[in-house]
């Protein structure tokens, strides 16, 4: 799992990834770091509070992991179908959820490039 430092908000992420919001959070919520992984134990081992998770694992376990690890939100990649039980849990748990058509690689790449860009609004 790769974790990079961020200076973005959830709203920035939504724009950069051309994502749709499935469960809203505070648009101005700061993204402290970004991680990309499909194995939740890796997220629990390497993730940090305030991290945004990019993942293809569109299950309740991604939401549970986000809850216990204090992640700022979850982005499901590759337009993965997301079950209503996942969204219901995210709403109940207060976990913002987005979905992008991009692959995990593309999404991570866009955000990485954004981190390397001159400071300013994306």
Partner 1 sequence: MAGNEIRRAYAVHGGDYANGGRASTAIKDLLKALAVRADVIRRVAIAAYEAEMNVVMYARRGTMAISVTPARVTVEVSDEGPGIPDIGLAMQEGWSTATPEMREMGFGAGMGLPNIQRNSDEFRIVSEVGRGTRLFIQVAMV
- Residues forming contacts to partner 1 in the complex (CB under 8 A) are 38-42, 44-45, 49, 55, 57, 59-62, 64-65, 67-70, 85, 93
Q: How far is the CB of 50 from partner 1 (least distance, A)?
A: 11
Residue closer to partner 1, measured from CB, 11 or 42: 42
Residues 6+ apart with CB under 8 A from 120: none
Please report how close the Cβ of residue 114 comes to partner 1 at its closest, in angstroms. Answer: 26
Rounded least distance, CB 118 to partner 1, Å:
33
- Please name the residues in contact with 98: beta carbons below 8 A apart, sequence gap of 6 or more: 10, 13, 14, 17, 19, 20, 21, 22, 73, 74, 75, 76
């Amino acid at each position: 799992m790769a974790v990079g430092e961020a200076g973005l908000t959830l709203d920035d992420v939504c724009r950069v990834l051309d994502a749709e919001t499935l469960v809203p959070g505070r648009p101005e919520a700061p993204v402290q770091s970004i991680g990309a992984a499909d194995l939740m134990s890796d997220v629990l081992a390497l993730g940090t509070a305030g991290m945004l998770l990019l993942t293809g694992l569109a299950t309740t376990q991604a939401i549970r992991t986000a809850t216990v690890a204090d992640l700022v939100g979850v982005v499901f990649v590759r337009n993965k179908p997301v079950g209503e039980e996942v969204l219901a849990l995210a709403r109940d748990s207060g976990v913002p959820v987005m979905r992008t058509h991009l692959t995990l690689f593309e999404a991570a790449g866009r955000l990485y490039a954004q981190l390397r860009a001159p400071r300013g609004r994306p």
